[in-house]
Amino acid sequence: MAGTKVRGRRGRRGSDLVDDHLGARLRERRLALGLSQAQLAARMGFTPPQINRYEHGTTRLSAAGLWRAAQALEVTPGYFFEGLGERRRSPETLELEAAGLQVARYLRRLAPEVRDRLIGFIASLTRR
């Protein structure tokens, strides 16, 4: 398969960039939602060590597992393939995106007028 790298792993013949990418996307979304591996495992009906192996690309996520992950993480299955083959985002960018999702969850709980005032306040902090 073009564009994949195979590297040996204990317990299986090898892994490729697709497995690594799917695992990274699984981890990114889990962290963005503020879930532990144990919490995600409970949502999916798996064990925490299985989630760890999926996130590290050492175990392939089956089509059914991918569907369960999408349901548990409130995304479409296609989410896991977004950015495949593109350059990876920096850890700082990933951390900022996770924080942005967390702020958005909090904002959703506020009354619209409070939310608008808070957004205006944040915007005023960025002006110099």
pLDDT at 46: 95
Distance, in Å, from the CA atom of 28 to the CA atom of 26, rounded to the nearest integer, reads: 6
**Which residue positions in the chain have pLDDT lower than 50?**
1-14
pLDDT at 15: 53
Contacts of 125 (CB under 8 A, 6+ apart): none
Q: Does the 1-88 domain belong in CATH 3.40.50.880?
A: no
| pLDDT, tens only, 65-92 | 999 999 999 999 999 998 887 777 777 8
Six-digit token pair at 122?
């944040």
pTM of the model as a whole: 0.62
Q: How many CB atoms lie within 10 A of CB 55?
A: 22
Q: Where are the domains of the chain?
A: 1-88, 90-128
pLDDT at 7: 44
Place of tokens 């919490």: 39
